[in-house]
Structure 1
C-alpha cells in the first residue's frame, strides 16, 4: 500500500474519531423552545418518551444548559433548539426548579442510531476497504470504490456531531453526502470503460465541482441568514439529483447490455440509497414531515459494505452470479429467521420496545445470521472430511480412491485394489467378489449386490453383508460404476494387444490401420502448414510478382521501387525462416530448452501488441522429448494470444517440480466460452495443447469466459504415475 493511500485512510480515520468523540461527549436531545416572551419555554422534544420519563412538560422553562444560561447557547439563539446537554435546569409552572441529568442510556434510540450503529458501520467500511485494497492494488476502479465506501461511512458517523451543531461535523457531512455520489459516478464511468461499454453520460470530472458548493454556502451562511436556512435544502437537493442520476445510468445501461455485473452494482446501490431518498430526503425537499427519521432511514446504508464486498475490479469480478445467488439464498433464510425471532422478542417484551428497538434488533439478527451462514460454510468446507462420518466424507474421498485404482494394469489387479478400498473405507471384510451365472444359487436378502461387469452369460458381482449408510452406499455405487467401465476398457485393450501380438507372430504383413492412422496425422499437419504458407508467404510472393510485371513493362526503372521489392523479399525470407525454425527449433538441440524459450519470447515481444511477463525456470528431463513438448506448448500459447486473445497483458510461468513441470498462462483478453471454442475452427491451437498434454498423461485446467481473459494451468509428471490426465473447463 502506497504512502498516499495510508494518508487517505489515516485522514478518514482521524475525522471519524473526532466526529464520534463529539457525539459521545454529550447526549443529543433536540428540544424545541419558544423565545417569544424572552424565556426559553419548552415546546417539544425529538425524544418525547425521554422527556415524559424525566417529567419535562410543555410550558416548562429551561433555565440553564450544563450550568450556563440557556439564552447564551448559540443553537438556541439561531434555531430555538437545545441540541445537546449533560444537565438541564428546569423551572416548572409552579416555580419549582429541578436539575435533570442527561445520559446516553436514557435514550436508547440516540445511543443506537447515533453512536453504536455508526461505529459498527465505520469499522465495517474500513475492514472492507482494506480488504479491497489488498486484493486489488494499483487499480483506479478499486480505489474509487474504496473512497466511496469510506466517504459514505464518514458521512454516516458524522451525523451525530452535525446534529449537535458541531461546525466540523456539519462541514464533513455536507461535503461527504455529495462527494460520495460523485465518487460513485466516477467509479461507474471507469468501470464502464473496463467493460468496454460506451459512456454516453456527463463526464464525471465536472461533477467534482458539486461538493465545493456546500462549503461556500456554509461560509456565506455565517453572514447571511437566508443562505444558512437554504443550505441544508440545497445539500439534500444535490444529493437527490445525483442519486437519481446514478440510478438512471445503472438502469439504462443494464437494459441496454443485460450484463450481470451491472445488475449487481445496481442492486448494491439502489437498495441502500433509495429508502433514504424516498422516506427522508424527498419529504424534506418538498416541505413535508419525513416518513422516517434520518437516523433510521440511514440504517439501510449498512448494506453498502456487504454488497460491494463482492465487487472486485482488478482483472475481473468475482463469479458474480454464484456470489449473488449465494447471498440471495442466505438473505432469504436470514430474513425469515430474523423476522420470527424479532416477533418472539416483541411478544416477550410486549409494549416495552419501540419501533426503533425492534428495527435495530431485526437488523442485528439479520446480519448475524447471514454472517453465521458464511462462517458455517467455511467450517463445513474445512472439516468436510469428518463432518458426516468418523471415517471421512466418502464422496470427497472418491477421487483419491479412483486415482489409486487407476494404476491397475489388468482386471485382477483392479479388483484387488477395489477390495482394498472397501476394506479401508467401510472397515469391513464381510464382502466378496464373485462370478455368477444363471445357475448360481440365490443369496440371502441381507446381501447388497452391485454389478461390476456383465459379460452376457457371466456376471461379476460385488456381494456385501454390511449395513450401509447413505454416504457409504453412494460412494460404493460410484466406485463400482468406475470399476465396471475400467473392466470394459481393460478387456478391450487386452483384446487389442492380443490381436496385434497374434498378427506380429503369425505374419509379416504390416498393420494397415496403424499405417492409416499415422498417415492421417501426417496429412493433417501438412494441411495446417500448407494453409499457413498459403495465407502468408504465398500471397506476398504473388503480390511481388505482379509488381515485377509492372516494373518490367515500365520504360524506366525506379530505384526506390526496386529497393522496396527487395525489402519485401527479405521480409518474406525472414518469415519463411521463422516457419522453418518453428518446425524444427535449431536452438533447442544446440543450446537447450531455456535458451530456445528465451529466443522465442524475444520474438513474441517484438511481434505482439501485448505486454508479456515471462518467467522461465531451468527444467531438466530424462525423456528428451519433453523439452520439445514444453517448447511446443509455449509456442502454441503465444500463437493463441497473438491471433485470438486481443489481450493487453499476458503472463507465462514455467516452474520446475520434481519429475516434471508446471506451465501457467494468463491473459486479460476477450476470453471465450470454452464449449463454443471447442466446436469452432479457432480451437485448433487449444486442441493441440490438450492433445500434447494428454499424450504425456498430464493435467490441464482451462478457465475462461467472455471478457474475462483466459487462464491455463498445465502440469506434467515425467514418470506418468503421479498425475492422470484431466481437462477442466470453467
Structure 2
C-alpha cells in the first residue's frame, strides 16, 4: 500500500509542478509583448540596427537607424534593462530619421507569427503532453521506462513552453528554460540506460545515472545567480547551449556505437527518432549561436522539431505495449469516410434549403465533421460497455458462439460431438431439419445423424460434387451445404433443409461459419485423443514397441538428463580430479624432498573437496535420509546446507505430512531443491520464505522472496530458473502451480497437490501457470 501511494504521489507531484509552472509561463508570454529589437549606442543615442520581426516592424513604421527615445514612458538611457536589446515593451517612442517623433502602442496580438510560435503552439503542445502523460500512466503498468518517458515528455514540454517567458527575461522562465533543456537530456540518457537493460544489452556509459543529475541542478543554481547578476546571463546561456550540445553528442555516440555493436533494429529506430528532430536545433540554432553569435533559424522554430522526440518514442517503441496504433488509425479512417459523406449530404441540404454564406457553410462543415467522428468513437465505447443490455441472448451472436463452443467442447467422442453440434444449430437457428452426413470414402456409403431422413441419389451426388473448403456455406435449391471435416476415411458435411422458405441472415451465416472452424479443430483433437487412448489400451508390457513415439520421448528425456549430469560432472568433479592428478605427477617426479608433508596435505584437501562435491551430486540424485528417516529429516538437513551457502535470511516451516503415495515425498524434496537453488542463484533477495503446509487432502508449498524478480512473459516463453521443471512435476500429480512476479518486486510461488484417492475431478485438469 505504501509503495502504491508513493507511485501515485510522484505522478501528481510532477503534474502539479507542471501545471503551476506551465500556466505561469504561458501567462507571462501572453501578457507581455516581445519585441527583440537590437540596438546600437552612438553619441549617447540608441539606434535600431535589427528588429526581431521585420514584418511587424514595417507595419509599425520602425526601420533601421531610428532612434529609441522612451520605452514604456521611461527614458531609454535611464533603463539599463534594455541594454542592448529591447525585449518587452507595451509602448515605444522613437525619433525617425526625418526628425519625426513616433509613438507606438504595442499589443500581443499585433504580431500573429510570433504569437503562433511563442504562445499558440506551446500551449497546444503543453496540453497534449499533459493528456498523453496521464494516458500513459493509467494505460500501462508502472514500469521504470514508462515513468521516465512521462517525466521526459513533461520536461521537454516545459522547455518549449518556457521559451517565450525566457526571451522576455522573466526570472522563473529563465531558470525553467535552462534547467529543463539539460534535464530532458539527462532523463533521456536515464531512459536509454534502462532501455538497454530491457533489451539485455550492455550499457555503454556509467551505470550510476544519478551523478549526471548534478548537471541540471548546477544550471538551475547558476540561473539563480544570473537573476542577481544580470551581466552573467550571456555567459550562462552559452554554457547551457554547450552542455546541451555535449549531452546530445553523448546520446548520439551511445546509440550509434550500440547499434554498430549489437545491430538491433530497436536501437536503429531510436537513433533515427532522436537524430532527425535534433539536427535543426543543433546545426541551425545552437552551433551558429555558440560560435558566431547568430542563428540561421530562431530558437522557437528549431525547438518545435524537438517536440517530435517523445512522440516518436511512443509511436515506434511503445505502441504495441500501450495501445494498438494501427487499430485506432483504421477506425479513424472508417469514421472519417462516414462522417465526410454525411457532412457533405447535410451541406447540400442546407445549401438547397437556405441561403447561408460560404464562410458559414465552412464553419458548419468542420463542426459537423469533427463532431460526427467524436460521436462514432464515443458510441463505440458506450456500445461495448452496454453490450449486455443492447442485445438479447438470441440476438447476441458472439455470446451464442461462446456458449455453443463451450457446450460442444465438453464432448469426448466424434459421434457425440456431431450430435451435439446438430442440437446446438437446431436450438439457436430454430430450424428442425439439420443433419450431418458422413460419407465413407472406402465403402462409398452415406450415413446421417438422422437415420429417418433419406436422400435420393441425385441429392447425394449434388452434395458430394459441391467443391467446398473449410467454413464455406452454399445455398442450393433444397438446402444449405457446409463442409465440416475430411480425413483419409470420412468426409463430413452439414445439411440444413430450407424448404425454399427459410433464409439465414448474414449474422447467422457468420456464426455458423465460425462454429464450423471450431468444430473442425475439435474433431482433429478428438481423433488424436481417441487414437492415443486406443494405442494405450492395446499396449502390452512385453511389447512396448507398439508405441514408438513413447519410447522416443522417454529416450530423449533420459538422454537429456544424462547429458546435464555429465556436463555438471565434467565441469566440477572431473576437473578437480585432473588437477589432483597433475599435482601428483609433479610430486612423483620432483627431486626435492623438502615440503613433502605440506604438498601431501594440499593434495589431500583437494581430494576431500572433490569427494564432497561428488557426495553432493549423489545426494541430489538420491536423497540419503528420505528413505530411512523420512521427508522431514531430509528437508531439515537440506535446509541446513542452504543456510551455510545463503546470504539471505531464510524463514521456513515444515509440517509433518501423512501421504499415502510415497512418490509425493520425492516430489516435495525436488520442489524444495528447485526453489532454493533459484533463490541462491537468481533471486538476490534479503529474505526468503518457504512453507510446507498440510491440507485435508494433500499438501501445499508457499514460497516468496523480496529479490529482483523477473517478467512473467520471460517465464512463460522460456525454461528459466527451473520453473518448467517444477511445473511438469506438479502436472504429473494433477496439482496447481501459480506464480506472481515482476521486475524489482520479488517472486512468490504457490503449489497445491491433492492426492488422487481424495478426488478424481482434478484428473481432467492440468496445472496452470497463472498471474495472481
What TM bracket, shorter-length normalisation?
0.5 to 0.7
Contact 1:450 1:480 (8 Å CA) reproduced: no
Q: CA-atom RMSD, angstroms?
A: 6.8
1:158 is the counterpart of 2:190? no
Q: Do 2:178 and 2:219's aligned partners in 1 also have CA atoms closer than 8 Å? A: no
Q: How many angstroms apart in 1 are the aligned matches of 2:12 and 2:142?
A: 13
- Mapped to 2, the partners of 1:453 and 1:623 lie a distance apart of 46
Over residues 96-134 of structure 1, what are the superposed CA-to-partner deviations in whole Å (9 max), with x where a residue is unaligned?
A: 8767362x4554444443334434545665676778889
Alpha-carbon offset, residue 479 of structure 1 = 1.7
TM-superposed CA distance for 1:72, in Å, is 4.1
The corresponding residue for 1:461 is 493
The alignment status of 1:484 with 2:487, answered yes or no, reads no
Is 1:571 matched up with 2:612?
yes
Tell me how far 1:652 sits from its aligned partner: 10
TM-superposed CA distance for 1:88, in Å, is: 5.3
Q: 2:241 is paired with a residue of what secondary structure?
A: helix
Which of 157, 169, 173 lines up with 2:173 in the alignment? 169
Aligned to 2:353: none
Among candidates 416, 432, 438, match of residue 413 of structure 1: 416
Equivalent-residue separation in structure 2 for 1:132 and 1:405 (angstroms): 41
Distance, in Å, in 2 between the alignment partners of 1:637 and 1:452 is 48
| 8 Å CA contact 1:648, 1:668 repeated in 2 | no
Alpha-carbon distance in structure 2 between the residues aligned to 1:392 and 1:79: 77
Q: Sort the Cα spacing of 1:581 and 1:169 in 2 relative to 1 into closer, same or farther, 3 A.
A: same
Distance, in Å, in 2 between the alignment partners of 1:496 and 1:165 is: 87
2:259 counterpart (254, 262, 271): 254
Q: Is the 8 A contact 2:252 2:275 kept in 1?
A: yes
Alignment length, in residue pairs? 677
Partners of 1:214 and 1:235 within 8 A in 2: no
How far off its partner does 1:254 sit?
A: 0.9
Q: CA deviation at 1:292?
A: 3.7
Partner of 1:314: none
Q: CA deviation at 1:475?
A: 0.7
User: Are the equivalent residues in 1 in contact too, given 2:29–2:118 (CA < 8 A)?
Assistant: yes
- State the alpha-carbon separation in 1 of the partners of residues 562 and 239 from structure 2: 72
After superposing the two structures, state which structure 1 stretch, 154-163 or 291-300, moved more. 291-300
Say whether the 8 Å CA contact 2:404–2:424 is kept in structure 1.
Answer: yes
Matched, 1:304 2:309: yes
3-state DSSP of counterpart to 2:492:
strand
Report the CA distance between 1:659 and its aligned residue: 11
- In structure 2, the residue corresponding to 1:199 is in which secondary structure? coil
What is the rounded CA distance, in whole Å, between the counterparts of 1:34 and 1:463 in structure 2? 96
Q: Which residue of 2 aligns with 1:449?
A: 481
Residue 72 to residue 137, structure 1, CA distance change in 2 (3 Å): farther
* 1:164 CA drift (Å): 0.9
CA distance in 2, matches of 1:37, 1:275: 40
Asked whether 1:270 is paired with 2:275, we answer yes
Aligned residues of 1:90 and 1:98 also touching (Cα < 8 A): yes
The 8 Å contact of residues 69 and 75 in structure 2, kept in 1 or not, is answered as yes
Alpha-carbon deviation of 1:150?
Answer: 4.7
- After superposition, the C-alpha distances for 1:177-212 in whole angstroms (9 at most, x for unaligned) are 345435544654676577442627999858956985
Shift in Å, 1:478: 1.1
CA distance in 1, matches of 2:410, 2:654: 30
Correspondences of 1:6-85 after superposition (within 5 Å): 16=22, 18-31=24-37, 46-47=52-53, 56-58=61-63, 65-69=71-75, 71-76=77-82, 78-85=83-90
Q: Which residue number in structure 1 is paired with residue 300 of structure 2?
A: 295
SS in 1 for 2:410: coil
- 2:119 aligned residue (81, 94, 115): 115
Whole-angstrom CA distance in 2 between matches of 1:232 and 1:117: 24
Q: Residues 495-530 of structure 1, C-alpha deviation per residue, up to 9 Å, x if partnerless?
A: 547757xx9xxxxx9665589999988877776776
**Greater shift after overlay, 476-485 or 433-442?**
433-442
Q: Does the 8 A contact of 2:72 with 2:89 survive in 1?
A: no
1:281 partnered with 2:283:
no
Partner of 1:472: 511
- Distance, in Å, in 2 between the alignment partners of 1:616 and 1:382 is 47
Contact 1:661 1:717 in 2 (8 A): yes
Moved more, 2-11 or 481-490: 2-11
Secondary structure at the counterpart of residue 300 of structure 1 = helix
TM-score (norm 1): 0.65
Equivalent of 2:438, from 432, 435, 438? 435
Q: CA deviation at 1:161?
A: 1.6
Distance 1:607 1:23, change over 3 A: same
What 5-or-longer segments of structure 2 have no aligned partner? 1-5, 345-357, 447-454, 464-475, 499-503, 755-760
Question: Which segment is superposed worse, 36-45 or 383-392?
Answer: 383-392
Bigger relative contact order, structure 1 or 2, given CA contacts below 8 A and separation 6+? 1
In the alignment, the residues of structure 1 paired with residue 396 and residue 326 of structure 2 have an alpha-carbon distance, to the nearest angstrom, of 28
- Contact 1:453 1:488 (C-alpha < 8 Å) held by counterparts: no
Aligned-partner SS, 2:307 = helix
- Which has the higher mean CA deviation after the structures are superposed, 407-416 or 112-121? 112-121
- Please give the alpha-carbon distance, in whole angstroms, between the structure 2 residues aligned to 1:476 and 1:70: 86
1:243 maps onto 2:248 in alignment: yes
Quote the Cα distance in structure 1 between the aligned partners of 2:584 and 2:485: 73
Q: Which moved more, 1:207-216 or 1:63-72?
A: 207-216
Distance (whole Å) between structure 2 residues aligned to residue 621 and residue 424 of structure 1: 51
Paired position in structure 2 for 1:197 = 202
Structure-2 change in CA distance of 1:629 and 1:518 (3 Å): farther
Partner Cα separation in structure 1 for residue 173 and residue 305 of structure 2: 21
TM-score normalised by L of structure 2: 0.62
Contact 1:33–1:44 at 8 Å: present in 2 too? yes
Secondary structure of the residue aligned to 1:435 is strand
